[in-house]
Chain A
Amino acid sequence: QKEVEQNSGPLSVPEGAIASLNCTYSDRGSQSFFWYRQYSGKSPELIMSIYSNGDKEDGRFTAQLNKASQYVSLLIRDSQPSDSATYLCAGNNAGNMLTFGGGTRLMVKP
């Protein structure tokens, strides 16, 4: 069974702090990884993709991938209350379907 695992949280951080979200995956064949943000009752929204080992930065977001450790992370700098949401990690399989983790709920307190 190909799994993507996340701590469900909630992860609570003060406004302006760095939020660190983590994800592990079991399928060594997965090549592409994605972070989605999902507000309650809404659809997932793609915020970052990462395909190779190392860091990828986009504005306040940095995705990190370590294929040897089967580990993906997302850092959110200068966290804002509007960042409060559930963050979903997803990896692809040999085909093109994505396997999603259960999500980590992030709460940013003013």
Chain B
Amino acid sequence: EPEVTQTPSHQVTQMGQEVILRCVPISNHLYFYWYRQILGQKVEFLVSFYNNEISEKSEIFDDQFSVERPDGSNFTLKIRSTKLEDSAMYFCASSEGATRGYTFGSGTRLTVV
């Protein structure tokens, strides 16, 4: 069964450092997303990406966040200057259509110290 692949599975970084989280969506999917889940809290939307541009973003997705699809397969989330409160599980997801359910990757646990 097709999978969304995320790397790394766990990243520890110092406050103020830049991190890049990587994702390979399912190959025939057109819509890509980043969500995050702080421990014990809801899954929160960050950004959606379609046709090589951001289609929606949340209030969480401020200027320190950016997304990129550098080639035909990878989809990345960059956090420029990490804060302690950025510590969370970050999930990449992809879907075939705008109203279809997503397939989530296994997540990257980001710990900012």
Contacts and interface: CB of A to CB of B under 8 A. Distances in A.
A46 interface: yes
- Looking at chain A, what size class is its interface with the partner chain? 20 to 34
Contact of B56 (A42, A95, A101): A95
A44 B104 contact: yes
B19 to A, nearest CB: 19
A102 B101 contact: no
A40 to B, nearest CB: 11
A98 interface: yes
A97 B56 contact: yes
Contacts of B48: 95-97
B99 A31 contact: yes
B104 A45 contact: yes
Interface string B69-98: 000000000000000000001010001001
From DSSP, what is the main secondary structure of chain A's interface residues?
loop
Contacts of B89: 43
B102 interface: yes
A43 B104 contact: yes
Nearest to A43: B104
B45 A98 contact: yes
Given A51-B99, A95-B98, A96-B31, A44 B43 contact: yes
Count chain A CB atoms within 10 A of each CB in B43, B55, B106 and give the residue with the most. Answer: B43
Given A92-B98, A95-B48, A96-B48, 16 more contacts: A31-B99, A32-B99, A32-B100, A43-B106, A45-B104, A46-B101, A46-B102, A49-B100, A96-B56, A96-B95, A97-B45, A97-B48, A99-B45, A100-B44, A101-B42, A102-B42
Interface of B: 31, 33, 41-45, 48, 50, 55-56, 58, 89, 91, 95, 98-107
Interface of A: 31-32, 34, 42-46, 49, 51, 88, 90, 92, 95-103
